[in-house]
Amino acid sequence: VCMSRCSLKDPLPLLAAGGNTGIGKATALHLARKGARVILACRNRDKAQAAIADIQQETGSTDVLYMELDLASLKSIRCFAETFLKTESRLDLLINNAGTDTHIRTVAPMTVWGGGGGRVVTVSSMAHRWKHIDFEALAANRDLGTGRYSWQFFQAYCNSKLCNVLFTHELAKRLKGTSVTCYSVHPGIVRTELSRHVSLWQRLFIEPVSRLLFLDPEAGAQTTLHCALQEGIEPLSGCYFSCCEVQEVCAQARDNALAQKLWEVSEKLCKL
């Protein structure tokens, strides 16, 4: 487990998608403590406000805000982007952290820039190695897999994490020559609230094991924070990090043609 020791020289606007629990909340708390202006982009207002209260109490920061964002709704995403660009003068750091392991349909990570540069950090997983993207099913059903059984949910989760890595790979190519860089990360096997989406008998097994063996959210946030704050990693834009170091990805995750195809299919699905 690495521990981020980087500091902020100047306050920076931070946007964290899915920052009201788990790794996202731990990341937001750490950056708020360092003086960042933090915007939690979440679907659930009550959970977001509770997270903001916790962060404010622990850090003393009064610059932690909530903006409504439902990543399962293109209308919500566009409304959010329009509101953000009207109310914020710049964005230095975007953390794509929102995630689920069920068949809920969500869109690709979202990037909105109001400033002249910054970083995009997308939370993926080592599970991207156990993956497959069925483009015909994606186009027809607008999802990466569904089903009644746990293994089907897990396969969809793996597929989504491969998409995260490919998204970052392609985004880095498209941002080349700009002052914006991007990174995907494996946070480790972290004890989060993803288990809330599984059945009761599965939770009875998962939760005791997770308390014993998994990382807590603070430890799980360290690689995200490294990619967000570490100076000098700009030449590594597009890379995949684990334990605060660049790690090799599987062959499919570094396939240029596949990354470009996923981007183009995503654009069509999003009507861009």
Q: Do residues 119 and 36 lie in contact, with contact meaning Cβ atoms separated by under 8 Å?
A: no
Task: Identify the CATH assignment for 15-270 out of 3.30.450.20, 3.20.20.10, 3.40.50.720, 1.20.1280.290.
Answer: 3.40.50.720
Q: For the chain, what are the domain ranges?
A: 15-270
Considering the entire predicted model, what is its pTM?
0.80
Active site residue 157: yes
Kindly name the residue from 66, 149, 157, 240 that is annotated as catalytic. 157
Q: Render 146-202 in DSSP notation, one character per residue.
A: --SSHHHHHHHHHHHHHHHHHHHHHHHHHHTTSSEEEEEEE--SB--GGGGGS-HHH
The answer to whether 242 and 236 have CB atoms below 8 angstroms apart is no
pLDDT in tens, the chain (272 residues): 444 445 555 555 667 665 677 888 889 999 999 888 899 988 889 999 999 999 999 999 999 999 999 888 889 999 999 999 999 888 889 999 865 544 334 444 444 444 656 999 999 888 788 777 888 778 777 777 665 656 667 777 888 899 999 999 999 999 999 999 999 999 877 655 455 555 555 555 555 555 555 677 788 889 999 999 999 999 999 999 999 999 999 988 999 999 999 999 989 888 88
